[in-house]
């Protein structure tokens, strides 16, 4: 894959394929990823983590992720923002991964993305997800992946996206109870969902600890 640990770079017009991961930013800020394609990777397509902030991915196509083992399917997100809390040791210095103010704009994500098209982790804040199209065909259900977007971050704006055929729901908001943070003050509006399964919802909040604004 392509690993970036620098800032103020433009990554444009290339393909990453047939690798363990796609594009990974670590401690990398103020970068632009534009018009790339990521496919046939064993785990996630694009990952911003370890304090990677103020980055944008736009006009790109991410599909056929999670191509490794059955376990890898649970890590086959299209775009992954931040770092999951499994234990304090999983965060650098025992503190939440502040990968903040990242933007995901006008991309095609899916089909055959085995986890969420976009997974926004607890501890991250204040990003934007706009104008993307999600194709849920091929989502695996591993590690509870059942929606186009899983929001555990705070103060995100998710607007003007379209999605088809999620495994269960289009957009989900969660509070990470174990970490005691996340899933607060997000705005989800102006998105559309089609091909929902029986009982599925376009947007649902499981976060009872705080308020979010939903108008889909």
What is the pLDDT at residue 88?
A: 59
CA 202-145-207 angle, to 5 degrees, is 60
What is the pLDDT at residue 94?
A: 75
Q: What CA–CA distance (Å, rounded) separates 70 from 29?
A: 32
What is the model's pTM? 0.96
Q: Mind listing the pLDDT tens digit of every residue in the chain (216 residues)? A: 999 999 999 999 999 999 999 999 999 999 999 999 999 999 999 999 999 999 999 999 999 999 999 999 999 999 999 998 875 566 777 788 999 999 999 999 999 999 999 999 999 999 999 999 999 999 999 988 999 999 999 999 999 999 999 999 999 999 987 778 899 999 999 999 999 999 999 999 998 879 999 998
What is the pLDDT at residue 87?
A: 57
What is the pLDDT at residue 85?
A: 81
Q: Which domains does the chain have, with CATH numbers?
A: 2-215 (2.160.20.10)
């Amino acid at each position: 894959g392509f690993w970036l640990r620098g800032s103020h770079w433009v990554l444009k017009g290339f393909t990453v394929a047939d690798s363990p991961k796609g594009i990974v930013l670590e401690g990398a800020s103020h970068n632009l990823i534009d018009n790339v394609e990521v496919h046939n990777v064993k785990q996630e397509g694009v990952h911003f983590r370890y304090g990677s902030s103020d980055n944008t991915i736009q006009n790109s196509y991410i599909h056929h992720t999670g191509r490794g083992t059955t376990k890898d399917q649970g890590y086959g997100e299209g775009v992954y923002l931040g770092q999951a809390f499994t234990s304090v040791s999983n965060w650098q210095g025992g503190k939440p991964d502040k990968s903040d103010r990242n933007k995901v704009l006008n991309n095609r994500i899916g089909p055959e993305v085995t986890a969420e098209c976009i997974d926004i982790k607890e501890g991250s804040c204040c990003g934007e997800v706009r104008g993307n199209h999600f194709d849920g065909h091929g989502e695996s259900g591993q590690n509870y992946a059942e929606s186009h977007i899983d929001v555990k971050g705070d103060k995100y704006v998710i607007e003007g996206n379209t999605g088809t055929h999620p495994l269960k729901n289009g957009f989900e908001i969660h509070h990470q109870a174990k970490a005691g943070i996340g899933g607060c003050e997000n705005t989800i509006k102006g998105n559309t969902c089609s091909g929902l399964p029986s009982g599925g919802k376009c947007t649902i909040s499981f976060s009872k600890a705080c308020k979010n604004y939903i108008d889909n």
